[in-house]
Amino acid sequence: MKHVGAGLVASSPTAESASTAEQSRNDAPLIELSNVSKCFGELRALGPIDLAIADASFVSIVGPSGCGKSTLLRLISGLDRPSEGRLQRYGADLDGPSRRVGIMFQDHVLLPWASLLENVMLPADVFALPRTAALERARWLLELTGLKDFADHKPHMLSGGMKQRAAFCRALLPDPELLLLDEPFGALDALSREELSLELSRLWQDLARTAILITHDIEEAILLGDRLIVMSQRPGRILLDIGIDLPRPRDVDTAKRQRFLEIKQMARDLIFRRKQA
């Protein structure tokens, strides 16, 4: 079995681990969670979870709503802290957000008073990056996502898909080593959703960066990822951790492949069996 996301480690006791011998040649993985859980008061929302994510992989995390997958992403982003357990980035304890991690939220969160270009440039402004180079990259990203002609438009003049593309550009502007995607297509209609996710998949492949995608859409998770993690209902734990051995580039037809359907069925069974139990 050829593993696109080589170097993946999954050691959750409940996981049907599909990791192979070729795993973890790096000294420390990009992200490593050891026995991490998150409680809100008495309520345990997540975990305990053990998870390691290697460089240059696209990890899809899918789970029923309320399973704590967004909580997991917030922990990895450093916006929230775990109640228990240890969270490390390249072997160092994580103490808050990093400028090397980009986030794309479910809602585009574009600043409504700023033009598209200004929005994409926000990280450069906050980080005080060299302006000329940043502007060049911003324009390149806008062109890549088909937004070149809308650089001076305010967000409210654009469609949902365009806004989400702009948010993608903003997240990529500082060239983050890790991109966190929190249901980035959740607010879109089905057609824009499919189109945009495939587009993002192609772009990601070109950029060869690490990404973690949170979604409740199993097909989307499989279509985009090198690795699929299925989470249980609250408190979210890892039910399945499997490599997605589908060739790239992926397109609409990928969803018709036998292997795609097998993985989809496996994930569905796990989610629904748990629901009924």
125 is a contact residue toward other proteins (CB under 8 A): yes
Three-state secondary-structure class, residue 23: coil
Rank residues 69 and 227 by Cβ distance to other proteins and give the closer one. 69
Q: How far apart are CA 172 and CA 119, in angstroms?
A: 12
Paired strand residues for 231: 238
Contact status: 16 vs other proteins (CB under 8 A): no
| Beta carbon nearer to other proteins, 48 or 184 | 184
Out of 19, 23, 77, 164, name the contact with other proteins by CB under 8 A. 77
Q: Does 111 bind other proteins (CB under 8 A)?
A: yes
Number of residues that make up the chain: 277
Per CB under 8 A, the list member of 113, 175, 265, 273 interacting with other proteins is: 113
Strand partners, 120: none
User: Which one of residues 28, 40, 66, 79 is an interface residue with other proteins (CB under 8 A)?
Assistant: 79
Residue 139 contacts other proteins per CB under 8 A: no
**Which of 21, 27, 41, 156 is close enough to bind other proteins by CB under 8 A?**
156
C-alpha–C-alpha distance, residues 149 and 54, integer Å: 37
Rank residues 99 and 273 by Cβ distance to other proteins and give the closer one.
99
Residue pair 59/227 in contact by the 8 Å Cβ criterion: yes
Choice from 21, 43, 92, 112 touching other proteins (CB under 8 A): 112
> Are residues 130 and 138 in contact, defined by beta-carbon separation less than 8 angstroms?
no
* Cβ pair 229, 241 in contact under 8 A: yes
58 three-state secondary structure: strand
CB of 250 to other proteins, least distance (A): 28
